[in-house]
Structure 1
Amino acid sequence: ANLIQIAGSFIVAKVGSRKKVCLIYLFVHRMMWACVAALPLVVFSDRLDDVRVWIFLALLMVASICASITGIAWTSWVADLVPKDFRGRFFSRRNIVAQVVGMTMAVAGGRFIDIWSTLHDSAQMRGYGFMILFGIGTVFGIAGVFTLRRISEPELSSTNGESFLSQLKMPFQDHNFRMFIVFSVAWGFATGIVGPFFSVYMINTLRIPFSVITLFGVVAGIATILGTRLWGGLIDRIGPKPLSVLCGLGGCFTPVFWIFASPENYTIIWVSHFVSGFFFSGIGLAATGMMMNLAPSRNNTVFFAVFAAVTGMFGALAPIAGGALGELFRGRVLYDGFVAISDIRILFLTSTALRLLALTLVNFIKIPDAVSVRSMFLSISRYQRFLPLYSIPSFASSGMSSVENGTANMSRSIVAVERMIDDILRRGGDLSKAVVFRVRSFDRRIDEKLDRHEQFIDQTIDRMKGFFKKNRGSRGGGE
């Protein structure tokens, strides 16, 4: 179905509207599932009873083709519609809503089938229970089509008259996008060779009950929601490339956890599901972000289609290669010590090694204005000691903003203190000037009074001298 996306990009180019292509093929996709829901009502003779299976497969194939064409049109549409600096938060919130609704409806649907099966004994009536579920899902799906009609579409960039074949060469001629495809293929292959064998290992080797396996899925779903909330805000700050390295390192070693599990104690499988859901949610966001950032706005549908086709093709080959490696490792013992590493456990280690090798290819992808991986780890280590454990799920949405708000408040406080000090100094200066003026005035007054006293004393002395001279003169004349 991923190969059909190349045809989808051609259809988008011919129609000239991603919104129109998305609405048409999405509506057809929903109607195919409406036909699937109505399939139990179709009556065939006993000799043609197998025809229902072929009709179901045909409807499923048409639905898959329509979904692939819808996906390429929708991806290009959203890439131009959502601002680059808001994509991480947008897709994280969208994925969280989809995850929560999906988990809730899965539990509700399973509960409905259980109740329906207890009320009806015949196989035909039990089949009607699934028909009702498919019908409800189809109604909500069609409602979603009409909701998309209300969303605007940016103008599609012109192709400048280039042929479709020449457009198909562009993704391979772009060095950064080509390296992104190589990295995605290598990472998908490294995870795909072991992915199908986890369930087999839980059932056949660890002998875990199906009810517990279902709970593992719930734990992974919860971890995905928590991780999506964290990575969605962080990717808008550091970019998709550093996030892919961070989450890739977290997702590389999850297969190693399975080596230490045993039928008597498989507690570590809980940890593995949580870690996988937490980090792989960030890997998905980072891959989407890098794809949209590297693809040019002109002809981005071709870039998205080529990426989906190449990665889908190698992704389909990965389980086959994993099966061949599993047969190759059968009966082989790599290490027989505290933990025996043999058979499928060697495949777990192989997947981990291939994931680490694939992660090194990220260094060859150059994204303009991207934060370096070293700067990312320095930023995280700088703020890590200030983050309590309960704030991890809301690190991107509230943690970093709290640090920024605290820094801003601190800056404002410093400015206020500086202003207060300046005001005090200004008032102190005015006070000192007033004191100096008062002192100088007092000094002048004292000097004036001293001068007056000196003048009075001098005048008194002069008068006394004149009085004594006068008395001496009068005495001398009387003798």
Structure 2
Amino acid sequence: MLAPQTDISDAEREAGLSRLVYEAGYSSATAALTSGVILTAFALHLGASNLQVGILASAPFLGQLFQAPAVLLVDRIRKRKAIAVISSIMGRSMLALMALALFLPPGLAMIAVIFAQFVLCGLGAIGGCAWNGWLRDLAPQERLGTLFSQRMVYTTSVTLIAGLAAALLLDRTTEGSSARDWAFAGLYAAGCVSGMISAFVVARMPEPSMPPPSVEPLGLGELLRTPFADRNFRRLIRFLASWQFAVNLATPFFTVFIVRQLQFDMTFVVVLSVVSQITNLASVRAWGALSDRFAHKSVLAVAAPTYIFSIVAMVGASQLGNSQMGMAYLVALHMLMGAAVAGVTLATASIALKLSPRGEATAYVATSALTSSLAAGIAPILGGLFADFFAARRFELLVRWTDPGGTSILSPITLSNWDFYFIGAGLLGLYALHRLSFVEEEGQIDRREMVQQVWFETRRAARNLGTVSGLRALTEFPGSFVRDARVRVRWLRKQRHAAMEN
């Protein structure tokens, strides 16, 4: 059942791609019940410090460092499905340990949770390394964008339902009570079961046999040297590393910021996550279509700046504080953030696969993951280390107004604590976008034209919400084809002009 196949029929391939899509439902249920907001809430429930929250947030990224030996393991064993399934079962069994950690003494409980999280993430990285190369050879390249968008639809839908269920469960218990202990234990037990079902579905997908090595097995250094020798892929690695550091300097602490600094309850945090997932679900298909029609870099050129803007805009929430206006602001901001994350996640997942040569995706994708994950893993630990330092600092912009009646001093802007992280992440994000401009991808268009395409898709989706306008759209001439043709002509002209200059 876990052995690779030399020949895969079209029916077997299509069945495997179908399982690839709906398997995302089980794996996303596991993640929704045991990671992200729930994991942070779990850590705060156990009395975790800012540093411990940062360490937990770094685990998924530092765990990716295990892809280095995994590259060698895949190249030697050449059974990617077996590696992916076995590592998944072993790693997700750690969720049972995290459920039992609630009944340990407080100090020991956090140690057990951190240990289990690192084991889970490390083994997940080993399985992911095998999974990426396996997927690259199983899925047709021209369908990667569509397949990833379909997986994201399942992921977002299940995450939405599981997140709401988790919020309702936690909301029915009192903070610090034994009932809350049992609620968290139930969430992690359910996540463990869902993870095991995911591994079973993956085991039923066909795996194409890897081509026999033309030379003797290479060492780890030799395997990783090839991607770095590829000039364009090296540029992609620089972008992904700088991007991950910028984003993960602040985003892992959103929950801490909203709960501790703004004094909102955990239920509202989960609602914000749900709102973000809804907009993510609503926009992912459009991003997938644009990604297939043009290029992943073009999608990033629009989605990435939007996401960076959303992070910096969190400073506005601290100015509004715990108020109805502040709640509305956070909801609107998370809607924008959810749409941007959909585009960024889809494009970054696909572009590394697209720019890697067929048959060498394992080494290329693993190298990209190693460098970007190291940067992403360091960022939240630094954030946790310096949290107390910035908590004791405050920046105020004072405005003095003097008139015959006296002098008034206003403070329209006040920055403190996590606000410094949001601004720092924005500045680092600008540098990451600069690195993206050097990456070359076939079919890419400039940012202005991509913004026009995004606006066109948004307007079309808005029109189709109405019954009358939706029926009218069925009889309209497909103007998107004309628009696409014009964009393609412009791109070809630029290519010819550049070739003539060279």
- TM-score, L = length of structure 1: 0.71
Cα separation, 2, equivalents of 1:136 and 1:384: 38
CA–CA distance in structure 2, aligned partners of residues 391 and 191 of structure 1: 34
Corresponding residue of 1:104: 161
**Higher relative contact order by CA 8 Å / sep ≥ 6: 1 or 2?**
2
- Identify which of 338, 356, 369 aligns with 1:277: 338
Once the two structures are superposed, residues 249-280 of structure 1 have per-residue CA deviations (whole angstroms, 9 ceiling, x without a partner) of 22121134333331243132221111111101
Would the aligned equivalents of 1:232 and 1:285 in 2 still touch at CA under 8 Å? yes
2:208 maps to 154
Is 2:192 the partner of 1:192? Answer: no
**Matches for 1:438-477 after TM superposition, within 5 Å:** none
* Distance (whole Å) between structure 2 residues aligned to residue 400 and residue 149 of structure 1: 43
Aligned to 2:495: none
Q: Does 1:360 align with 2:434?
A: yes
Point out where structure 2 has 5 or more consecutive residues left out of the alignment. 1-62, 400-409, 466-470, 483-502
TM-score scaled to structure 2, two decimals?
0.68
Counterpart check, 1:163 vs 2:218: yes
Q: Does 2:339 align with 1:339?
A: no
Residue 79 (structure 2) aligns with? 17
Please state whether the residue corresponding to 1:163 is helix, strand or coil: coil
Please report how far the alpha carbon of residue 235 of structure 1 lies from its aligned counterpart in structure 2 after TM superposition.
0.9
- 1:430 aligns with none
Deviation at 1:112, TM superposition (A): 5.1
- CA deviation vs aligned residue, 1:384-443 (integer Å, no higher than 9, x gap): 696362549xxxxx999997757899xxxxxxxxxxxxxxxxxxxxxxxxxxxxxxxxxx
- How far is 1:214 from its partner? 2.6
Check if 1:227 corresponds to 2:283: yes
Distance 1:86 1:245, change over 3 A: same
1:401 and 1:308, CA in 2 relative to 1: closer, same or farther beyond 3 A?
farther
Query: Relative to 1, partners in 2 of residues 1:390 and 1:201: Cα closer, same or farther, differing over 3 Å?
Result: farther
Q: Answer 1 or 2: which has greater helix percent.
A: 1
Q: Residue 376 of structure 1 aligns to a residue in which SS?
A: helix
Residue pairs, 1:184-333, within 5 angstroms:
184-261=240-317, 262-263=320-321, 264=323, 265-266=325-326, 267-322=328-383, 324=386, 327=389, 330-333=393-396
Q: Which amino acid is 1:227 matched to?
A: S
Alignment-derived partner of residue 145 in structure 1: 199
SS of match in other structure, 1:152: coil
Whole-Å separation in 2 of the counterparts to 1:71 and 1:286: 18
- What's the offset of the Cα at 1:101? 1.4
Matched AA of 1:389: A
Change (3 A) 1:245 1:49: closer
Q: Please tell me whether the aligned partners of residues 157 and 297 of structure 1 are also in contact (alpha carbons under 8 angstroms).
A: no
Deviation sequence 1:204-253 (CA, Å, 0-9, x none): 44333433233212211211111222212221111101000010122121
- What is the identity, as a one-letter code, of the residue corresponding to 2:80? R
CA distance in 1, matches of 2:97, 2:461: 52
Distance 1:255 1:401, change over 3 A: farther
Name whichever of 165-174 and 348-357 sits farther off: 348-357
The 1:52–1:197 alpha-carbon spacing in structure 2 relative to 1, beyond 3 Å, is closer
Using the alignment, how far apart are the partners of 1:81 and 1:377 within structure 2? 32
Work out whether residues 280 and 338 of structure 2, in 8 Å CA contact, stay in contact via their aligned partners in 1: yes
The 3 A distance-change label for structure 1 pair 320 and 215 is: same
Between the aligned partners of 1:208 and 1:50, the Cα distance in structure 2 is: 26
Counting only pairs closer than 5 Å after superposition, residues 71-110 of structure 1 correspond to structure 2 as: 71-109=128-166
- d(CA) in 2 for partners of 1:361 and 1:391? 37
Larger Rg computed on CA atoms: 1
For residues 114 and 374 of structure 1, the distance between their equivalents in structure 2, rounded to whole angstroms, comes to 45
Contact preservation (8 Å) 2:87, 2:123:
yes
Q: State the distance in 2 between where 1:134 and 1:379 align.
A: 42
Q: How many angstroms apart in 1 are the aligned matches of 2:480 and 2:438?
A: 35
For residue 251 of structure 2, give the secondary structure of its aligned residue in structure 1: coil
Instruction: Name the CA distance, whole Å, in 2 between partners of 1:153 and 1:214.
Output: 38
Partner Cα distance (2:294, 2:378) in 1 = 33
Contact in 1 for aligned 2:227/2:364 (Cα 8 Å): yes
Distance 1:135-1:303 versus aligned 2 partners, 3 A rule: same
Per the TM alignment, residue 37 of structure 1 is displaced from its structure 2 partner at its CA by: 5.7
Cα distance, 1:187 vs. partner? 1.4
